[in-house]
Amino acid sequence: MPDILIISEGPVRKIRINRPEKKNALTLAMYESMAAAIEDSATEANVRCLLISGTHDVFCAGNDLNDFVAMARGGALGAPIVRFLHALACCEKPLVAAVSGAAVGVGTTMLLHCDQVIASDTATLLTPFVSLGLLPEAGSSLLAPRLMGHARAFSLLVMGKSLSAEEAKAAGIVTAVVPAAELDAQSLAVAREIAALPPESVASARRLMRGSVEEIVARIDEEVDAFKTRLASPEAQKALAAFLTRKR
């Protein structure tokens, strides 16, 4: 079965991360598939809402460890990752996320681009970038302080403090917290509710609410350049080596 499942349910395009044996860690190929699914929706009038989800026990554990180690050695961030981040920022269709279990790294920062985030009561958000000698990505250094305020964003993105589902709701990242058994049904219901609205009106309102896409893309690119520098730094190399030793 593919690691990314693309399923259409009427006007809702479901993008399901489906690699539970690796806690839904994203490979470069998975980033490519997700980016293509988002990009293609722009020209498909029948698609009125996108729903991103993981599996029952986990949403996304961030980057695949093997790909991440290779990127660290090369001091570069893979092009498929950048393509996916740009696709999120430039997406013209409403985005809904259904989050169950762990959402780590990009599993959390991608949520900042979503219009509605439905989380199960088992969800936990965590961004351990700085502890690995790295820094936040996906435009989160711009979006998180706007959404949460500087202090709470600093706690999440720099100090690496985790958020429970209820804490993420209080911070404005999560829209609603539901029992795990109800997550799929309730998130799909929200996506269908959005899809039933007049699409041109939704697009116009959403564009005004989100503000400058160019500003978000520029921040993503700034983060990418800084991320590359950090990947090659002795500080990051040491932190990643220690992390890999613990993993073994």
Q: Are 195 and 49 in contact (CB under 8 A)?
A: yes
168 contacts: CB under 8 Å, gap ≥ 6 = 117, 119, 123, 125, 174
Q: Are 88 and 140 in contact (CB under 8 A)?
A: no
Convert 83-105 to b/e letters by CB count within 10 Å (16 or more is b): bbbbbbbebebbbbbbbbbbbbb
Q: Residue 71: is its pLDDT beyond 60?
A: yes
**Percentage of residues in the chain having pLDDT higher than 70:** 95
Q: Residue 69: is its pLDDT beyond 70?
A: no
- Given this model, what pLDDT does residue 219 score? 97
Please state which of the ranges 2-16, 56-70, 115-129, 216-230 shows the lowest mean pLDDT. Answer: 56-70
CA distance 171 to 177: 13
Name the CATH architecture for the domain at 4-178. Answer: Alpha-Beta Complex (3.90)
Identify the band that residue 231 occupies on the pLDDT scale cut at 50, 70 and 90. confident
> Is the overall model pTM greater than 0.85, yes or no?
yes
- Given this model, what pLDDT does residue 125 score? 98
* Domain extent listing, the chain: 4-178
Q: What is the mean pLDDT of the chain?
A: 93
Q: Residue 23: is its pLDDT beyond 60?
A: yes
Identify the band that residue 230 occupies on the pLDDT scale cut at 50, 70 and 90. confident
